[in-house]
Structure 1
Amino acid sequence: MSEIDTLPLVRYEDLPMARDRGAGWAKLRELGPVLYGDGWYYFTRREDVLAALRDPQVFSSRTSYDEMISPVPLVPLGFDPPEHTRYRRILHQYFSPQTMGALLPTLQRQAIEIIDDISDRSESEAIADLAVPYPSQVFLTLFGLPLEDRDRLVAWKDAIIAVSLATDLDSVDLTPAAELFGYLTEAVAEQRRSPRGGVLSDLLHRDEPLTDAEATGLSLVFVLAGLDTVTATIGMALLELARNAELQARLRENPALIASFVEEIVRLEPAAPILGRVTTRPVTVAGVDLPAGSQVRLPLGAINRDGSDAQSTDHLVLDGKLHQHWGFGGGPHRCLGAHLARMELKIVVSEWLSRVPNFALADAHVPEITWPSATCALPSLPLRWENEMP
């Protein structure tokens, strides 16, 4: 009998996640410290997940991306140190709190424009109206691209993610992937010729410039990995507020708590709840021997709610403090755009609460995430309110 045969089996798609992530992650943890299913090993203990995140030499992030999705390397996700370290050193200054702070007025103005339009009504499908378009505008602004390209960008991104999840690859349409790649390739070439304001031009014209392929790969990473994650978290933040009128009032009265609220949403509902790794050599975890080449899944959502301390609960902890969590990952691959994501979320929550009166879920709507999925995202979030501030 092989080691796999002795492990508890898990079917990821069978976890009860759609309505209650707390129940779903608890079910996963209850099965044991190391699980197996569909070719993957799952770690469920915090210490094992964190050890794997911090050891890229054994648990590698290097990925052979399917060329139908990306014919260029996806910078920096698909690299381990030392290549990953080089990219992070180059990119850090562009995504630091100081650099993001300089963008605050512009990104705040864009959010206000979208939310002002919404607030004139008495209802909103908040995912389509706000959570999808706003992160796309942020990307275009950050990379010095025209805001009028927003709807095309969203359509391409959605189509490519659908392709990546398809099981019948013979029937998929690769046109959107080719169009997005062509758009980003041309943007890189154009900004190589004629620099513009923004991260992309700076990376192409610095003392240690990125190559065209590296710059295109980075841009693609932000479209495919950076937009849906913020969209998902905006949806979860507005859902939590819609369910709790007292919380809305508390944050309106004390906006300083919004930063803590955002951190708690990221802890409870990490948009990318599972991180994948591949073992580079045999390794033993929780008494289980994994061979080299093992596919590993690290559930951030499970360890953030594991009850190992007073803050790791299934409920919001709003005590005015910022508590440690792993909603943005950990180790050298911790999310490069974490500061940007935090800023987007704080802007959206602040401006929504200051412009939209007490709001709630539309009658009879039962919020469920799409499951299984790469992101824990609500497909829709219909909200309603009386169009008059109390």
Structure 2
Amino acid sequence: MTGTHVLPHIRYEDLPMTRDRGVGWAALRGLGPVVRGDDWYYLTRREDVLAALRNPAVFSSGIAYDDMISPVPLVPLGFDPPEHTRYRRILHQFFSPQTLGALLPSLQSQAIEIIDEIAARDSCEVMADLATPYPSQVFLTLFGLPLEDRERLIGWKDAIIAFSLTTDPSSVDLTPAVELYTYLTEAVGRQREQPREGILSDLLHAEEPLTDDEAVGLSMVFVLAGLDTVTSTIGTTMVELARRPDLRRALRGDPEGVAVFVEEMIRREPAAPVVGRVTTQPVTVAGVSLPAGADVRLCLGAINRDGTDLHSVDDFVLDGKLHKHWGFGGGPHRCLGSHLARMELRLVVGEWLARIPEFRLAPGYIPEIIWPSPTCTLPTLPLLLH
């Protein structure tokens, strides 16, 4: 509470997000800079969110990892500086644009193969046909793992995310988590003994190598936090392109225009629109006293559309320039895979428009995300092609 006033309260699931995130974030911002949920405090004002992102000593990301999901620490998400700083220093070179550029030909050919297969049809379901399989293949390529493991990886990932959201722990089947952990542990062991081309082997045999547990933890992060986020953004991106034939025509054959459009999609529809922190000490935010141990949600989706500058609005700003936003977070925990996500999204948009310039939403289909959701993902996206 602040003074004698009771904080505004919202049930997160009641926010009007399913069809239009702009409406939902505006509703949350309208309640005030600090809003109380059932178990969380939501910070909605840009200056407060950015201050929290930049201050891990008070707003900690050192979350206790869930033994049901991962028996090893989740690197680097579950650490604050100075441990986190060490991990970022080790990992940075392997996820830089320069390093990822060496993988570009393979990732591009995989996108083309998937899209060529879709282009031969009259219709497709984007989430199942493109948005889900492609990021999984990218992870396998990146980590030097067999592409034929794609379907198993997707199955494990989907099952683990589903049970992490359940409210009935007694109904949980832990088999997928055990199988994924075993798969990644065995892969790390093999690549420790016999290096392969890819980031995983590079990290295991670097000048300052990761331990086996650290390598498994990093792999778990990429599977559980990296795949669904790109899947989500591919879905929302294809919806916008399906609705905007003039934009499709303008972007076709224009890589720089595609890059700007992708950046605007990440701003408007961040796939991780809320990030969690825990306060390590009492702190005052916007006149509100938060106790130590308070669970806080930093609303990136809200500040990216808050209208406090000309580029943070609900509609696209396609002026040929890349504008600052917080779709990948900020501060020391800014998304490690941001360059990879951009590369994937630019490849998908560019190669799709080159092969399927004309498409539209299936008649009667209304794009509605699953809500509440950590990634704002569309369950389906049926398109008519050509």
Q: Name the structure 1 match of 2:286.
A: 286
Deviation at 1:255, TM superposition (A): 3.4
In terms of mean alpha carbon deviation, does 5-14 or 227-236 score higher? 5-14
Change (3 A) 1:137 1:289: same
Q: Name the structure 1 match of 2:297.
A: 297
In the alignment, the residues of structure 2 paired with residue 375 and residue 3 of structure 1 have an alpha-carbon distance, to the nearest angstrom, of 35
CA contact (8 A) 1:328 1:334 kept: yes
Q: Does 1:120 align with 2:115?
A: no
In the alignment, the residues of structure 1 paired with residue 12 and residue 194 of structure 2 have an alpha-carbon distance, to the nearest angstrom, of 48
Change (3 A) 1:251 1:66: same
TM-score (norm 1): 0.97
In the alignment, the residues of structure 2 paired with residue 195 and residue 99 of structure 1 have an alpha-carbon distance, to the nearest angstrom, of 17
Q: Name the structure 2 match of 1:313.
A: 313
Q: Name the structure 1 match of 2:146.
A: 146
Aligned length: 386
Q: Name the structure 2 match of 1:129.
A: 129
CA contact (8 A) 2:126 2:235 kept: yes
Change (3 A) 1:5 1:148: farther
CA contact (8 A) 2:136 2:154 kept: yes
TM-score (norm 2): 0.98
Q: Does 1:214 align with 2:214?
A: yes
Q: Secondary structure at the match of 1:6?
A: coil
Deviation at 1:82, TM superposition (A): 0.3
CA contact (8 A) 2:111 2:134 kept: yes
Deviation at 1:133, TM superposition (A): 0.3
Deviation at 1:385, TM superposition (A): 1.9
| Matching of residues 19-168 of structure 1 within 5 Å | 19-168=19-168
In the alignment, the residues of structure 2 paired with residue 171 and residue 337 of structure 1 have an alpha-carbon distance, to the nearest angstrom, of 33
Q: Secondary structure at the match of 2:102?
A: helix
CA contact (8 A) 1:25 1:302 kept: yes
Q: Secondary structure at the match of 2:351?
A: helix
Letter in 2 for 1:60: S
Q: Does 1:263 align with 2:263?
A: yes
In the alignment, the residues of structure 2 paired with residue 92 and residue 162 of structure 1 have an alpha-carbon distance, to the nearest angstrom, of 30
Q: Secondary structure at the match of 1:311?
A: coil
Residues 142-188 of structure 1: per-residue CA shift (max 9 Å, x gap) = 00000000000000000000010001000111100000000000001
Q: CA RMSD in A?
A: 1.1
CA contact (8 A) 2:277 2:296 kept: yes
Q: Secondary structure at the match of 1:275?
A: strand
Q: Secondary structure at the match of 2:252?
A: helix
In the alignment, the residues of structure 1 paired with residue 318 and residue 307 of structure 2 have an alpha-carbon distance, to the nearest angstrom, of 16
In the alignment, the residues of structure 1 paired with residue 256 and residue 341 of structure 2 have an alpha-carbon distance, to the nearest angstrom, of 18
Gap regions ≥5 residues in structure 2:
none
In the alignment, the residues of structure 1 paired with residue 272 and residue 7 of structure 2 have an alpha-carbon distance, to the nearest angstrom, of 25
Change (3 A) 1:377 1:4: farther
| Matching of residues 286-365 of structure 1 within 5 Å | 286-365=286-365
Q: Secondary structure at the match of 1:158?
A: helix
In the alignment, the residues of structure 2 paired with residue 227 and residue 291 of structure 1 have an alpha-carbon distance, to the nearest angstrom, of 34
CA contact (8 A) 1:142 1:198 kept: yes
CA contact (8 A) 1:4 1:36 kept: no
Q: Name the structure 2 match of 1:170.
A: 170
Residues 100-148 of structure 1: per-residue CA shift (max 9 Å, x gap) = 1111111000000000000001111011000000000000000000000
Deviation at 1:254, TM superposition (A): 3.2
CA contact (8 A) 1:3 1:289 kept: no
